[in-house]
Amino acid sequence: MNYLRQLGIAFSCLLITAIHAQEEKVRPFDLEADFFYGTILEHNPDISHLITEHPQGIMLAYNRKTYGYEAWERRYNFPDVGYTFVYQDMKNENLGELYSAYAHYNFYYWKRRLQFRIGQGVAIATNPYDRETNFINNAYGTTVLSSTMLKFGFKQNNIFKNIGVHAGVTIIHYSNANLKAPNNSTNTWAFTAGINYFPKANEFPDYIPLGEKTAYSEPIHYNLVVSGGANQSDINNSPRYGFLTLTAFADKRINHKSSFTAGVDAFFANFLKELIRYESVAFPDGEVTGDEDWKRFGVFIGHELHFNELSFVSQLGYYVYYPYDFEGRFYNRLGLKRTFGEHFSGSMVVKAHGAKAEAVEFGLGYRF
């Protein structure tokens, strides 16, 4: 496959579309097109048979520039907000190809020459696990996957007629967050290089300075969150079950960027009920009797990094009630939260035990 030719055609199509859209929009943007080449990291020996050649692909991005119209943009050194599309050939017939789309932030350092991108999105796998036709693929259990992208590199705009260059490294993670087994996932480490185009760069407005830093804090607030979703155990072809999580926590906003949290969780995961029954029948001489309680209760501490109405959530928890041993007593969460007004919020977080995902939790919250 001629990737350079595809890259040029795709970038041209994206450019034509974006230039037309620019006629109606006043906010500046730039476009990026990359070719990448890398390797699949063996984070789990169970996927070693799937690492055969070097994956490669193309990456297209739209970056909407900020320059300080909103206060949060100034606090984070005027990041970009945008979208990325990735095509990746895994160079393994059992893994197939992946098409993914992300929403992303770009953060800049060293006179805006170093760029760090973090993106979250979804991917489509062309050849996921199938019990009859593709049982060798134990990395992707579903066609639709969750994907996280990290990218870091050097970027220079406007070298010649609004065209610039960039190069760096990227990590792309594909997983279905235990929605369906198998779910050993993959992590691609790749080198990237490409070009960027910044239309009307000479009309870019001056950055609005941050100004004098002001102290900001809020009193302690209390929150209730109801979360749910569906997942299954690690046993291939086992049924998928819904789950419910009830969370109560307190948050303390200490400045414009950060809040600390602490709270309690009640987990009602129906797949554990079935897993306990399965183990008691499949291994009658084992330690599982079938009478173990499938509910779990935990306590956690956490942090929220605020970007206007959006925040990045991180938590570390410990099960205080843990009658059945599943992946250890510590758990962690990473995800996004969006506030709606003063009281309501929606969230999407991945709950895991270390690097082993258990579920994606979709939550609705109320802040008192």
- pTM value is 0.84
Q: What is the pLDDT of residues 180-227, one digit of tens each?
A: 888 889 999 999 999 999 998 888 888 888 888 889 999 999 999 999
pLDDT band at 136 (very low <50, low <70, confident <90, very high): very high
Which residues are paired to 97 by β-bridges? 89
Confidence of residue 334 (pLDDT cuts 50, 70, 90): very high
282 versus 87: the higher-pLDDT residue is 87
User: Would you say 350 and 176 are in contact if contact means Cβ atoms under 8 Å apart?
Assistant: no
Reply yes or no: is the peptide bond before residue 205 cis, omega within 30 of 0: no
For residues 150 and 321, give the distance between their C-alpha atoms in angstroms, rounded to a whole number. Answer: 36
Phi, psi of 239 (to 5 degrees): -65, 160
Mean pLDDT value of segment 224-249: 90
Residue type, 258: S
Question: Average pLDDT of 39-67?
Answer: 93
pLDDT in tens, 294-327: 999 999 999 999 998 999 999 999 999 999 999 8
Provide the pLDDT for residue 49: 93
The answer to whether residues 278 and 326 touch, using CB atoms and an 8 Å cutoff, is no
pLDDT value, residue 361: 93
All domains of the chain in start order, with CATH: 3-203 (2.40.160.20), 221-367 (2.40.160)
Residue 142 · residue 180 · CB < 8 Å = yes
* Lowest mean per-residue pLDDT among 73-82, 197-206, 247-256, 338-347: 197-206
Percent of the chain at pLDDT above 90?
68
pLDDT at 26: 54
**In whole angstroms, what is the distance from residue 317 CA to residue 266 CA?**
12
